[in-house]
Amino acid sequence: MARAFHSSGDLIADRRASYADMLFDSGDHAAAADLMAQALELVPGWTAGRFRLGELLEAAGQADDAAAAWRDVLERDPEDRFGAGLKLASTGRVPAPAMPPLAYVETLFDAYAPTFETALLDKLEYRVPGLLAEAIEKHGSGRRYTSVLDVGCGTGLMGPYVRPVADYLAGMDLSEVMLQKAAEKQVYDDLAKGNVNEFEMTLQSVDLVIAADVFVYVGDLDRAFAAIAKSLTVDGLFVFSVENQEGSDEPVLQPSLRYTHSQSYIERLLAVHGMALISLARETIRLDRGEPLQGLIVVAKLAN
């Protein structure tokens, strides 16, 4: 995703920050960091600017100074809306958390909602909704679904794919702004703000649960899988995607601040929560810095 801009409230500081990003984009990372530091001299309490300074210092090879900036951000913003703790973890300064701060995920997607679909579809060639729709059609054998839950629905990209086979379609997301965008599509029967790790559904009330590109912002999937397993009907399907990695049996926090998951981790966690793997396919799910990014497209159900 592209950077989101958070104004300092000072026109001159904002202008310097904008020039700093221009220098960064041109490859002059050290000059960009210097200019950002000058902007912060005008508004020393600008938390978003201080987080950006850390990113510019990191790019300039000044790792210790970058870490100091992110620690400062954490002191100013204990909820960690900007992901400073994740940056410290991704650079090896602190252990990686099992999951990201909720405030970070909500802030991130509230900020990106207006340009989210354009960035994904036009620039990153995002394929997950179509791939999940193909998996649903293949393993659903033409069935209709009484109740469908689109977990982490975002702006509702998945909605139009499943609306034709759903009697009732609900979406849930942590970002209120994303939910507003999803509502504009007029394909969901219900949209609600919620956290995939904490949502509660009536026992065995949903016969299709979808999670499109959601778990990269969850990390440890134990609680999410537990909640989903409880909500599934006996013949219900759980269809989802993850970014793939093979180096660890546990989720891995990447420099992108997204989590990757291995096939062995997914299989183990499905089994722990009484779900059986129906299919698992390795697919290119989008571009990452111009290169194909591999993910897993997974279909599971309650085990007999």
Q: DSSP string of 239-267?
A: EEEEEB-SS-SS-EE-TTS-EEB-HHHHH
Tokens of 275: 């779900």
Which of 21-25, 34-38, 201-205, 245-249 has the least mean pLDDT? 201-205
Q: How confident is the model at residue 246 (pLDDT cuts 50, 70, 90)?
A: confident
In the CATH hierarchy, which top-level class contains the domain 11-95?
A: mainly alpha
Indicate if the pLDDT at residue 157 is higher than 60: yes
Residue 1 above 80 pLDDT?
no
Q: What is the mean pLDDT of residues 262-291?
A: 95
Of 159, 136, 298, nearest to 208 (Cα)? 136
Rounded distance, CA 41 to CA 107, Å? Answer: 25
- Indicate if the pLDDT at residue 4 is higher than 60: no
Q: Where are the domains of the chain?
A: 11-95, 115-302
Rounded CA separation 1/186 (Å): 26
Cβ count within 10 A of residue 194: 16
The fold for domain 115-302 equals Rossmann fold (3.40.50)
- Work out the mean pLDDT of the chain and round it to a whole number: 93
Q: 202 pLDDT band (50/70/90 cuts)?
A: confident
